[in-house]
Every structure is written in C-alpha cells, then in structure tokens.
Chain A
C-alpha cells in the first residue's frame, strides 16, 4: 500500500488556507451555531431524529446568518458537525445492531452439532464462548453511548445484514468451515464499520468507544483467519491455544493480517441500524 505524498501535501495546503481565512472571519458566529446545536441536542430524540427536519434546520440557519458562498462552505462543515450529534446516535445504534447480530449468530452456531459448528475443537469452543461475551459487552457499550447522547438503545439485529448475508449463509452451513466463513464476514464488517464510524463521529467518548472496540473485533478476525486456514489445509488438530507454531506451514505466519491498514470499503451505512419509530 502506498501513500500519495504529493496529493496529501496539496490537500493540506488547501485545507490550511481555508482554515486561516475562516478563522479570521467570524468566530463569534460559529459559537452561536454551537450553542444552537447544544440546545438542539438537549431536545428529545423524536424532535431531532428526522433527517428532513435536520436538513431544513441546517439550511434555515445558513440563510438566517447570511452565510452564502465561501461562508457557507467554511461553516457548512461546522453546522454539519453540530447536527452530527444525531449522526453519532445513528452510528452507535448501527454498531449495536451489528453486535446484536453477532451474538445471535454465535449463539446459533453454538446450538449446532459440535461437529458441524466446530465446537468439537476445544479452542474453537472456547473462542465462541469468549466472543459471545465480548460482543454482548460491546452491544451494551454502544447502547449506553446512545442513551447518553439522548438516543435510544438498539436491541434488534442489523436487518440488512441479517437478510442478505446471515440468513442465506445459515441455510448452507454444512460444517465448521462454513460457520467460520460467516463469522469472519461479520467480524470483518464490524471492524471496517467501526473504523469508518470512528473517523467521522464527533463525540469524544463515542470516538474512543469505536477506537477501543474495533481492535477487539480485529483480534477475532485474526483468530478466525488462522482457524479458516488450518481447516482448509485439513489440519484441525493444529487449532489450539497455545498454537504449535513449529507445526504450521510457513505461509501460515502471515494469513491473519492481509492488510497494513484496515480497509473501510465494506463499512455498513451509518443509518442502517438507527432506531426509528
């Protein structure tokens, strides 16, 4: 993976110029906008959760402050940031829906015949028990964040992923490799989603929550990739903790982490699991 340094330098210079111009303009006006946002955040969820209302208010504020053209371009992001408190709630709701789904899937897998689920392998069984607890804790953390921000808890599984990924896959499970593949898909989606969400969230505690949970899901993906690799080699007896690295084929040493930077192209949409109604 390479870094385009020239593009970065150009973007940074442009960003700095905009920043200096903006800061020189109207700090007072921006503070007024922040105050409006805080006042809005204090209102009940049903008054501020409507996307259309959110856009209407944003446009009205821009018009009221006379910010057009460059002003709107400079302070549009600030206004969006103020209204992004609602987006933070959507994101933690969606994250909670992913965790609910993960718990459901792992529990469903645990209910299968151990020779089908892979639980006949002690290390796999231990892994499943541990991740069920961890995903439950993650769900609780995301829901606590939602409530703190004035939103509501998400107790339902992520429906699009359930309908398009999980349900079709469950119907085709024939053995441990299928279960591992499904689990890996979910865990990978979780990491990508939390990296993406953490990158754009505005509340510091929410950012830290995403930052502290994404790596844990990545530990799950690493473990599942090793299990998957050993199953594909017909070496289930090597799936153990501690792992006997002396018995692993050479390439196995690198299969757990295919990328230097975790990608986000598979991140779920922020509003996918938002609580409505």
Chain B
C-alpha cells in the first residue's frame, strides 16, 4: 500500500471565511509544516511501540518474565513487525518530502515506558504497558484523521488505526476485559491521543 499524501503538497485550500472553527464543516487543512509534524509524531509513536515490544521480547529471552507462552511470543513478534511497517510508512512520507526519517521514540511516552520496562515481571505487566501504548496510538490516529485532507495520507492513518485496535482487542482478552467493559464504549475517543507537544518530551 502506498502511504503518501500527507505533506504540504497535498494540502488544499482551507475555508474561505466560512470556517466556524467547530468540529463540523469542511476538513481544515494543516499547514505544510504542521502536516509533516503530524507525520513525525505518528512515526515516533510507532518507533516507541517497536522498541517496547522488542524490550519485552528481550526480557522474555532473559527469563525476566518467567515462562512466556509461545502464543504471547508470537503476538509480540507479529505486533512489533506491524508497528515497524507503520513507522516505515510514515517515514517514507517524511523522506519523500526531503526530511529525515524519525527514528526517535516519542520523547514524552518514552520516558513513561522506560520507567516501567525495568519493572516488568510477567506477561500481564507487558500486556498492561502495551495496551496503554496501543490506545495512545489508535486515539492519536483518530484525532489526526480529520486534520489531513489528502485522501491517500488520511487513508494511511485510517488504515493503521484498526490494526492497532486489533492489538487492543487481544490485549484486553489477555487481561480479562470484556468488550462491553472497555473504556472506548463503542467509539474510539481522543483523550489519550498524543499531541505535538509530546515531541518535546
């Protein structure tokens, strides 16, 4: 799947004096630089997810997590690869725009993860941490989707969010949270969405 179209090149004209500033109405285009910052934000979240699952797998290999079921190892390996694919897609947009790829994990959330990685002792611990990151990711994509007017670029966000949600579903099943008891209650919100300020740590 081609993952392009978020850059300033894809930004079209904003409202001609008719923008009420509400959430309804025609989608408002970010500036070119804001659009690329959103892409950088997304890439950084994916890099953090890759690193976190890698750390969990390393801990499993070292015996820190006790006996790790094969299915959980498969889950972590599969999800890590998918997050890498997501990061690659966002970074392809950055590099196509002449910017460097973002290989830095999101600073704000990375500090949260680093504080917890050393305390991981069971796969339940891993699942709880992973669930938080997956929810940040899916909510961030919901938040940015309406900010991107380029169809292809928006589709990148929209096509990744459901995959993060699939990860969420399995993590909730592992943790024992039934479908009707999840916080999202049938709609993905944006309370946990990462903002551009998180790029500063």
Contacts and interface: CB of A to CB of B under 8 A. Distances in A.
A30 B82 contact: no
A240 B178 CA distance: 10
A222 B165 contact: yes
Interface in B107-155: 123, 138, 141-142, 145-146, 151-152, 154-155
A253 interface: yes
A241 B161 contact: no
B176 A203 contact: no
B175 interface: yes
A138 B187 CA distance: 8
Interface in A135-149: 137-138, 141, 148
Contacts of B184: 216
A34 B165 CA distance: 36
B25 A221 contact: no
A162 B182 CA distance: 30
A5 interface: yes
Contact of B155 (A78, A134, A199): A199
Contacts of B160: 261-262
A113 interface: no
Contacts of B18: 34-35, 38
Interface residues of B, number: 84
Given A19-B9, A38-B18, A198-B154, A217 B71 contact: no
A252 B71 contact: yes
Most buried by A among B3, B73, B77: B3
Given A5-B92, A208-B23, A253-B72, A242 B142 contact: no
A261 B85 contact: yes
Contact of A261 (B79, B163, B180): B163
Contacts of B72: 245, 253
Interface in A214-237: 214-223, 226
A61 B51 CA distance: 53
A261 B89 contact: yes
Interface of A: 1, 3-5, 7-9, 11-13, 15-16, 19, 23, 27, 30-31, 34-35, 38, 77-78, 81, 126-127, 129-131, 133-134, 137-138, 141, 148, 191, 194-196, 198-200, 202-205, 207-208, 210-223, 226, 241-243, 245-254, 256-257, 259-264
Interface of B: 1-5, 7-13, 15-18, 23-28, 67, 69-79, 81-82, 85-86, 88-89, 92-93, 95-97, 123, 138, 141-142, 145-146, 151-152, 154-170, 173-180, 182, 184, 186-189
